[in-house]
Structure 1
Amino acid sequence: MSLSDPVNRRLMSDEAYDRIRDAVVTGELIPGERIKDTELALRLGLSRTPVREALTRLTDTGLVEAKPGVYTRITPLNPLEVARTLAVLKALDELAIRTAVPHLSKSDLDHMTRINKEFAAAVKRNDARAALDADDRFHSIPIAAADNPLLARIVDQLHPQIHRILYRKFSTLYGGENTIDHHTELVRILASGDADAAAKRSAAHWVQLGDLIGDLFAKEQLET
């Protein structure tokens, strides 16, 4: 066995993970849908091994659930579980914002402003994928400035669960303008150096996001 063999297999596993994750986020694979590694491997043009590895990782993120010998399926959307995930992300985001404030540079804040303009443009043209990507990049700046690798890893692990909710929210423009305004105000507060006010602003937005998602469930715009 050469040194390149495990690297190549890992790359294929990463590719399978990314593509299956994206299919779940965008709704190509719907909540509750049963999946088989053989069928996914055929669709992806890969062998079963990297697909199985990807599904194991996706199970760890909560996007896939398996009952051995019975089924492997895309995890159904459960309002209670979504609320629990939001509560954890809210607490982590508050910590990241509060910790990041002393370390954010003018360059960081200018970058966040530019990304928010990209986010606004994506919302305007109804490009949910671009909006989600911009939103991620916007929030990644204070997370990086917080310089807490454990926090960053946990947030990264939880993000896929909420991404499939945010994708639908952005695709319907539901709350898009509100998010643009939130980003703008957050940058303003971060620039003032008021860590408490910035954390409070961020927490309020997570609460509002939870209300919007609750409305999507109530209006049956989210499959369960």
Structure 2
Amino acid sequence: MPVPKNYVSPIRMSAKERALSQLQRWIIDGTLQPGEKLIDAELAESLGVSRTPIREAFQLLEVQGLVSMHPGKETKVTVIEKEDIFKMYSTMAALQALAAEVAAAVIVPEEIEQLRAINSEFANAIRNGQAFQAMEVDEQFHNFIVELSDNPYVANFSASLQIHIRRFKYVFLKQPVDATQASVDEHAAIIAAFEQKDGKRAYELMKLNFIRPMQELHELL
């Protein structure tokens, strides 16, 4: 199981949190491949922690659906099916579109400027080929809108889906700049709808922002 040997441990995190964070990233970026067997001793050595935090992280990753555990046998990275793209993205599109529609009615100029700054950071990450950072900033953009909608059900369901969508989104954002610039432009259009307090347009634009990548990813994979 090849894993990086130059891992630098983040500060101010427990061993379990560090293990969970890094294992999530390795599953998302493909360092740990779908179906790959995970060996706690090897991962513990690579991350500089004991086997206990690794096993605790496995349990949380299983809850998130990123690994499957078979006590006494093995732990493997879950396999992702191509057809799951439609199920995940269409559901997320509906949740995020609802959040955008509600947010359009309550957003204030300062919050619009925050979204504009986040989108600028997103564009820079894409231009610089920083796919993982672009993914994280994109999530920041959408999470901010969900927060504005003040709907805990949308927030909880979106967070759960987001973990799985990350595995697809990372592949999408690794494409050439011209293939991902549309996401930046769609964000800008959503911001413009917010400025106009146009909830209906914000709803449609947000839905497009998820449906388009869904269709492109299905063709790409």
TM-score, normalization by structure 2: 0.87
For residue 148 of structure 1, the aligned residue among 148, 151, 154 is: 151
Displacement, 1:17? 0.8
Tell me the equivalent position of 2:122.
119
Residues in 1 aligned to 2:109 and 2:83: alpha-carbon distance in whole angstroms: 39
Counterpart position of 1:34: 37
Contact 2:97–2:207, Cα closer than 8 Å, also in 1? yes
Separation in 2 of the partners of 1:84 and 1:70? 31
Q: 1:180 aligns with which of 170, 178, 184?
A: 184
Q: Distance in 2 between matches of 1:66 and 1:87?
A: 28
Identity over aligned residues, as a percent? 27
Is this contact kept in 1: 2:32–2:77, CA < 8 A? yes
1:82 to 82, 85, 89: 85
In structure 2, the residue matched to 1:15 is 18
Matching residue's letter, 2:49: L
Write out aligned runs for 1:102-141 (5 A): 102-141=105-144
For each residue in 1:85-110, what CA deviation from the matched residue of structure 2 results, as whole angstroms up to 9, or x when unmatched?
Answer: 11221121122112222221111111
Alignment-mate amino acid for residue 66 of structure 1: M
Contact 2:104 2:193 in 1 (8 A): no
Q: What residue is the counterpart of 2:209 in the other structure? A: 205
Q: How large is the Cα RMSD of the aligned pairs?
A: 1.7
Q: How big is the shift at 1:82?
A: 2.7
Deviation at 1:205, TM superposition (A): 2.2
- d(CA) in 2 for partners of 1:31 and 1:98? 36
Q: CA deviation at 1:37?
A: 2.0
Q: Distance in 2 between matches of 1:155 and 1:50?
A: 27
State whether structure 2 residue 60 is matched by structure 1 residue 46: no
Deviation at 1:77, TM superposition (A): 2.0
* Structure with more of its chain in helix, by fraction: 1
Q: Which runs of 4 or more aligned residues in structure 1 lie more than 4 Å from their structure 2 counterparts after TM superposition?
A: none
Bigger Cα displacement from structure 2, 68-77 vs 200-209? 68-77
CA deviation string 1:17-58 (max 9, x = no partner): 111001111111111111122222222111222211211111
1:159 aligned partner, one-letter code: Q
Residue 95 of structure 2 is aligned to residue 92 of structure 1 = yes
| Residue identity in the other structure for 1:181 | D
Partner of 1:5: none
> One-letter code of the match for 2:201?
A
Structure 1 residue 69 displacement after superposition: 4.2
The 1-side partners of 2:104 and 2:56 are apart by: 38
Q: Which 5+ residue runs of structure 2 have no aligned equivalent?
A: 1-12
Give distance in 2, aligned partners of 1:150 and 1:113.
Answer: 26
The CA distance in 2 between the partners of 1:86 and 1:68, in whole Å, is 32
Is contact 1:61–1:158 with CA below 8 Å preserved after alignment?
A: no
SS in 2 for 1:72: strand
The secondary structure found in structure 1 opposite 2:37 is: coil
